[in-house]
Structure 1
Amino acid sequence: MASSTFLSCSFICITILLFLVGFCSAEDPFANFDYVVSYITASPLGVPQQVIAVNGMFPGPTVNVTTNYNVVVNVKNKLDEDLLMHWSGIFMRKNSWQDGVLGTNCPIPPKWNWTYQFQVKDQIGSFYYFPSTNFQRASGGFGSIVVNNRDIIPIPFDTPYGDITIVIGDWYIRNHTALRRDLNSGKALGIPDGVLINGKGPYRYNDTLVPDGIDYEKIDVHPGKTYRIRVSNVGISTSLNFRIQNHNLLLAETEGSYTVQQNYSSLDIHVGQSYSFLVTMDQNASSDYYIVASARFVNESHWQKVIGVGILHYTNSKGKASGPLPDPPQDQFDKTFSMNQARSIRWNVTASGARPNPQGSFRYGSINVTEVYVLKNKPPVTINGKWRSTLSGISYANPVTPIRLADQYKVKDVYKLDFPTNPLTGPPRIAASIINGTYRGFMEVILQNNDTKMHSYHMSGYNFFVVGMDYGEWTENSRGTYNKWDGIARTTTQVFPGAWTVILVSLDNVGIWNLRTENLDSWYLGQETYVRVVNSEATNKTELPIPDNALFCGALSHLQKPQDISLATSITGNQSKSFLTLLLLISTLITTFR
């Protein structure tokens, strides 16, 4: 009898355990992270200063996940001001609630935590995260995001021996609060104090230009091996040329799209952009090699100290790197060199992306455009006594109640759906003016840069197709130059000064999505807007419901409950309830048959 009871119990328990395994494997996996955002003291350029760290690290740890993973990031704000974390380039399918910008989220107050939860649905590639408010990115808080292919989806190149992430960017010794004060008072930021590679200053390649005692980045590699090197420009406003001495950069991916593989001796990486290179360690290792990130489109005689230099170290290296740095592009009198380089980056339409179908199966060139917006920027101007940046004559002002919350709770007079399709002809104005996008529409956006400096533009929630760029003013005839077959699909594109870039966007992702310059100073001063994409049918299939842990502010502050950290969990909603129910059932059965 005891044996029979034991066998019955065993059979039932094994059945339940098998069900549990099936239950767990039927759902896409969860990846859980706990991030504490705080100030630390660091000396990236040899001078102690306050920087923003994540888990005590500067830059922060890499978010490394796989396609379709559910990502849960519990963020604890230990700063002395509000915080939002933005996951740049992550599509946030149906879920602008998690985008981490002021149009969709109330900021996380000091000493509070908030848990982001989103799925990297049907996505691969190289991205980064950063704090999106209060000019905080200028003090750090950023880190890389890697979204790997699932095992069943092949990558369009041999598996590299290693995967290396690098963040580069211009850097000021003044922290973000001091830089913010300068902008608020109408002052330009001036020349940066340096360029950092993975949060570190330059290797002392020149005793006059680089003081002693600066920590530099050194990357160890094995001879003969090929590495995937992912590089993101997380800086404030400086375009950087990236190169590795004596090594070819075989471009393979940019912001979630595999590219036609081409060799470059160096590549211009503009603010907010990310690239993957395949680099083979095919040199004789007579010495170490320089890794360089230097400013572009500037007066080089004034920027000699603003160069990032790291070291590529072979395990069999015979000595330290020495001598002059590898030359940057020699194109001072050729405006088209960098633009032609950008045009050469094309989509690999024969490769699979995150799904087992060719990326090029989306024939964007044959889709009818349903709406056209010409967005024109200009140098900053004074509006109502304030120094502001504009987009089509409008300087965006964030309302105290986020747009998405205002829609959810029908709060009136928070914003206006009156962003113009063409630039205003009258005086510029400050307003919360946004674009009324058509769900399932196909939008053509002409980005016209009438500023004197390079800009790059980003749109949350989407990959867009970069179909054309040229100098001068865009006209209707410019459409005849568009690449309608293999224009790269990405999330951030450059727009050269005195030039235009055109992107096409398929508005299939419901939500409120930020469209902005990535130049942090111009963004802070108002060069942004939002695209509102609404499905008129009431359904959770095209947009996820408001999260249980939503923060409230502005006109909805009265809805805010006291902080509840129990909402930070890796298993949520019905999945959590089902899982706990099964555990209780097992416990009951064991007790019954004991």
Structure 2
Amino acid sequence: MALCSFLSVLLIHITLFVSLCYAADPFVNYEFEVSYITASPLGIPQQVIAINGKFPGPTINSTTNNNVVVNVRNKLDENLLIHWSGIQQRRSSWQDGVLGTNCPIPPKWNWTYQFQVKDQIGSFFYFPSLNFQRASGGYGGFIINNRDIIPIPFGTPDGDITIMIGDWYTRNHTALRKALDAGKDLGMPDGVLINGKGPYRYNDTLVPDGIEYETIEVHPGRTYRIRVHNVGVSTSLNFRIQSHNLLLAETEGSYTVQQNYTSLDIHVGQSYSFLLTTDQNASTDYYIVASARFVNESLWKRVTGVAILHYTNSKGKAKGPLPDSPNDEFDKTFSMNQARSIRWNVSASGARPNPQGSFRYGTINVTEIYVLKNKPPVTINGKRRTTLSGISFVNPSTPIRLADQYKVKGVYKLDFPTRPLTGAPRMETSVINGTFRGFMEVILQNNDTKVQSYHMSGYAFFVVGMDYGEWTENSRGTYNKWDGIARSTTQVYPGAWTAILISLDNVGVWNLRTENLDSWYLGQETYVRVVNPEATNKTELPMPDNALYCGALSKLQKPEDISLATSIMGRSRLFFTMLMIVCALIPIFR
């Protein structure tokens, strides 16, 4: 009888779990220990932010609909947040990792992120979002693979390679931050890193001896997917590989019309993936180059990243001059025309088994319009600040989403102007009031003298137009309303505008900012608050059990509970293990 009772109970539990055996989305788990190390990427020892003792940090490898669990141990001497750039965090800005949305992780604390990479594929990255920390490292790649049942619009590559490029200073983020606080410019960076390493010594005068450089080994006659991310401070970079074409295939979650480029401008915060065919002879290795754009090249020659592409049958070292960068000194439209050539592949499947182009963004009525204009830094209340439409954003001590949850008044204002202010600039916590399921047109007008990249958390927006001069209502006649690329970060050239369209279908509080760290740090950002007005709100995930409290709600924060972080990781592993066991037992009782 006892055995029968046991089997009866077991069968009941199997019945309850059987559907999950075929429908549950797997978990991928990562442990991040964020700490300082001493490294010398440009030959000078300096403080660098590492993850698990490595710089750059590990690449997160996941698949569409996976639940990603990352337990972060903050071993820095200051607050920390990890931001998942381009990851759309469907229905949960609680996990976004920016200061206007989340309380920071205090020093010596653990905190566990848990989110689902739902209906996304592509190439992204993560980085520390506070206190200028990205200038000292702490970043890494984030890959979301397609599920096996969803075809990709190219043959399966023979390998997958992540490349992080970015300008770099030998001063750490604390020193750079102090310079900005003192009203100073950061000046020219000291170099460009490729995967956290300095340049190959292609020139004995410009590159000192003894610098470690990156070598990427490939086999001849194969095709590799190369994911390139500009994780730097503020410099647009041109990426190229000597004697090789770069077949553009995807950017920030969208498959592109496949086109060959000999080089491509990659602006701060942007990600691209290329298909590289190793079809050259192996008489020598080949240069991989990331060089600064829109600068005085004679002064910036030493600020060039150089790595090596090494064929397994190579017969010698790379030699000779670097491959040329674009020569557009007298043609300022070259880079813009290149950007315009990047189109959405509307015939390819995305993360789901429907064509990317089935969403006809060009036929949707726009419900709200914002013109966001940035200018060179100004002085406000005796401080050097940057602005967006005349407002320099001030991060609240109580994050916006937390204030909404607990109905804390006076934390922010829903009064961000639809057009730039005409009066004196001011410092405020002013937020855009987005309409749930509305369709927002945003014009990014850059009246500064350098390229700015703009990013919006929680969304992929459609880049529908860009041009030089001031945007006007007539500019809409130039919009691409069919296959404008959908992405999360776009460039705006100096003295020019870029127009984007955003379908506000993701409830939460989402950061809209420049990716240039100096401009971001000094206030060039805002947030878009998207709220579902329905009383039974099932469009946003609940506040997580381990949410941190700060500001006006700091008294609610309990002492650190390491067991909670452990239990979140443990529950995800246990749940998946139980499913595997139960699924294995099903045939026995059929």
Q: TM-score range by the shorter chain?
A: over 0.9
Q: Distance in 1 between matches of 2:568 and 2:40?
A: 40
- 2:431 maps to which residue? 434
- Residues 584 and 70 of structure 1: CA distance in aligned 2, closer, same or farther (over 3 Å): closer
Cα drift, residue 22 of structure 1 = 5.1
Cα drift, residue 26 of structure 1 = 2.6
Q: Distance in 1 between matches of 2:149 and 2:581?
A: 35
Q: How does 1:265-304 map to 2 (within 5 A)?
A: 265-304=262-301
Q: Distance in 2 between matches of 1:461 and 1:63?
A: 18
Matched, 1:556 2:550: no
Q: Distance in 1 between matches of 2:88 and 2:349?
A: 18
- 2:585 maps to which residue? none
Residues 218 and 313 of structure 1 are in contact (CA less than 8 Å); yes or no, is this contact kept in structure 2?
yes
- 1:203 maps to which residue? 200
Is the deviation greater in 16-25 or in 446-455? 16-25
- Residues 506 and 573 of structure 1: CA distance in aligned 2, closer, same or farther (over 3 Å): farther
Residue by residue over 1:427-452, the C-alpha shift from the partner in whole angstroms, topping out at 9 and shown as x without a partner, is 00000001000000000000000000
Residues 21 and 579 of structure 2 are in contact (CA less than 8 Å); yes or no, is this contact kept in structure 1?
no
Helix, strand or coil at the partner of 2:176: helix
Cα drift, residue 539 of structure 1 = 3.3
Q: Number of matched residues?
A: 582
- Residues 582 and 220 of structure 1: CA distance in aligned 2, closer, same or farther (over 3 Å): closer
- 1:355 maps to which residue? 352
Helix, strand or coil at the partner of 2:387: strand
Q: Distance in 2 between matches of 1:538 and 1:206?
A: 66
Q: Distance in 1 between matches of 2:119 and 2:395?
A: 31
Residues 72 and 570 of structure 1 are in contact (CA less than 8 Å); yes or no, is this contact kept in structure 2?
no
Helix, strand or coil at the partner of 1:379: coil
Q: How does 1:528-567 map to 2 (within 5 A)?
A: 528-567=525-564
Cα drift, residue 572 of structure 1 = 7.9
- 1:592 maps to which residue? none
- 1:458 maps to which residue? 455
Residues 20 and 579 of structure 2 are in contact (CA less than 8 Å); yes or no, is this contact kept in structure 1?
no
Residues 434 and 529 of structure 1 are in contact (CA less than 8 Å); yes or no, is this contact kept in structure 2?
yes
Helix, strand or coil at the partner of 2:375: strand
Matched, 1:62 2:44: no
Cα drift, residue 538 of structure 1 = 3.1
Helix, strand or coil at the partner of 2:334: helix
Q: Distance in 2 between matches of 1:483 and 1:532?
A: 27
Helix, strand or coil at the partner of 1:41: strand
Matched, 1:514 2:514: no
- Residues 343 and 102 of structure 1: CA distance in aligned 2, closer, same or farther (over 3 Å): same
Which residue type is aligned with residue 392 of structure 2? S
Helix, strand or coil at the partner of 1:568: helix
Q: Distance in 2 between matches of 1:416 and 1:102?
A: 16
Selected match of 1:366 from 349, 363, 368: 363
Residues 90 and 116 of structure 2 are in contact (CA less than 8 Å); yes or no, is this contact kept in structure 1?
yes
Q: How does 1:399-548 map to 2 (within 5 A)?
A: 399-548=396-545
Which residue type is aligned with residue 283 of structure 1? Q
Helix, strand or coil at the partner of 2:377: strand
Where does structure 2 lack aligned partners over 5 or more consecutive residues?
Answer: 583-590
Cα drift, residue 154 of structure 1 = 0.5
Selected match of 1:182 from 162, 179, 184: 179
Helix, strand or coil at the partner of 1:108: coil
Cα drift, residue 514 of structure 1 = 0.2
- 2:145 maps to which residue? 148
Which residue type is aligned with residue 277 of structure 1? F
- Residues 212 and 395 of structure 1: CA distance in aligned 2, closer, same or farther (over 3 Å): same
Residues 85 and 129 of structure 1 are in contact (CA less than 8 Å); yes or no, is this contact kept in structure 2?
yes
- Residues 578 and 241 of structure 1: CA distance in aligned 2, closer, same or farther (over 3 Å): closer
Which residue type is aligned with residue 125 of structure 2? Y
Cα drift, residue 303 of structure 1 = 0.4
Cα drift, residue 23 of structure 1 = 3.4
- Residues 151 and 181 of structure 1: CA distance in aligned 2, closer, same or farther (over 3 Å): same
- 1:568 maps to which residue? 565
Cα drift, residue 21 of structure 1 = 6.6
- 1:117 maps to which residue? 114
- 1:396 maps to which residue? 393
Cα drift, residue 565 of structure 1 = 1.5
- Residues 248 and 497 of structure 1: CA distance in aligned 2, closer, same or farther (over 3 Å): same
Q: How does 1:119-134 map to 2 (within 5 A)?
A: 119-134=116-131
Q: Distance in 1 between matches of 2:147 and 2:441?
A: 32
Matched, 1:238 2:230: no
Which residue type is aligned with residue 242 of structure 1? F
- Residues 570 and 67 of structure 1: CA distance in aligned 2, closer, same or farther (over 3 Å): farther
Cα drift, residue 540 of structure 1 = 4.6
Which residue type is aligned with residue 275 of structure 1? Y
Q: Distance in 2 between matches of 1:559 and 1:8?
A: 46
Residue by residue over 1:401-440, the C-alpha shift from the partner in whole angstroms, topping out at 9 and shown as x without a partner, is 0000000001010000000000000000000001000000
Residues 250 and 278 of structure 1 are in contact (CA less than 8 Å); yes or no, is this contact kept in structure 2?
yes
Q: How does 1:9-20 map to 2 (within 5 A)?
A: none
Residues 32 and 570 of structure 1 are in contact (CA less than 8 Å); yes or no, is this contact kept in structure 2?
no
Q: Distance in 2 between matches of 1:22 and 1:546?
A: 27
Matched, 1:52 2:49: yes
Selected match of 1:96 from 90, 93, 96: 93
Residues 71 and 569 of structure 2 are in contact (CA less than 8 Å); yes or no, is this contact kept in structure 1?
no
Which residue type is aligned with residue 34 of structure 2? V
Cα drift, residue 475 of structure 1 = 0.5
Q: Distance in 1 between matches of 2:374 and 2:179?
A: 21
Moved runs in structure 1, 4+ residues, more than 4 A? Answer: 4-22, 569-585
Q: Distance in 2 between matches of 1:145 and 1:14?
A: 40
Percent identical among aligned pairs is 80
Residue by residue over 1:365-418, the C-alpha shift from the partner in whole angstroms, topping out at 9 and shown as x without a partner, is 000000000000000011000000000000000010000000000101000000
Residue by residue over 1:263-310, the C-alpha shift from the partner in whole angstroms, topping out at 9 and shown as x without a partner, is 000000000000000000000111000000000000111101000000
Residues 446 and 503 of structure 1 are in contact (CA less than 8 Å); yes or no, is this contact kept in structure 2?
yes
Where does structure 1 lack aligned partners over 5 or more consecutive residues?
Answer: 586-594
Q: Distance in 2 between matches of 1:202 and 1:14?
A: 63
- 1:40 maps to which residue? 37
Which residue type is aligned with residue 91 of structure 1? Q
Helix, strand or coil at the partner of 1:390: coil
Cα drift, residue 103 of structure 1 = 1.2
Which residue type is aligned with residue 354 of structure 2? N
- Residues 430 and 554 of structure 1: CA distance in aligned 2, closer, same or farther (over 3 Å): same
Helix, strand or coil at the partner of 2:97: coil
Residues 30 and 570 of structure 1 are in contact (CA less than 8 Å); yes or no, is this contact kept in structure 2?
no
Q: Distance in 2 between matches of 1:579 and 1:328?
A: 50
Q: Distance in 2 between matches of 1:198 and 1:577?
A: 35
Cα drift, residue 574 of structure 1 = 9.6
Q: Distance in 2 between matches of 1:263 and 1:232?
A: 18
- 1:588 maps to which residue? none
* TM-score normalised over the length of structure 1: 0.95
Which residue type is aligned with residue 158 of structure 2? Y
- Residues 582 and 471 of structure 1: CA distance in aligned 2, closer, same or farther (over 3 Å): closer
- 2:314 maps to which residue? 317
Q: Distance in 1 between matches of 2:294 and 2:260?
A: 22
Helix, strand or coil at the partner of 1:555: helix
* TM-score normalised over the length of structure 2: 0.95
Which residue type is aligned with residue 515 of structure 1? L
- 1:384 maps to which residue? 381
- 1:27 maps to which residue? 24
- 1:327 maps to which residue? 324
Selected match of 1:308 from 285, 305, 309: 305
Cα drift, residue 18 of structure 1 = 8.3
Q: Distance in 2 between matches of 1:314 and 1:360?
A: 38
Helix, strand or coil at the partner of 2:475: helix
- 2:588 maps to which residue? none
Residue by residue over 1:550-590, the C-alpha shift from the partner in whole angstroms, topping out at 9 and shown as x without a partner, is 000000001001111222257689989989999999xxxxx
Q: Distance in 1 between matches of 2:374 and 2:501?
A: 19
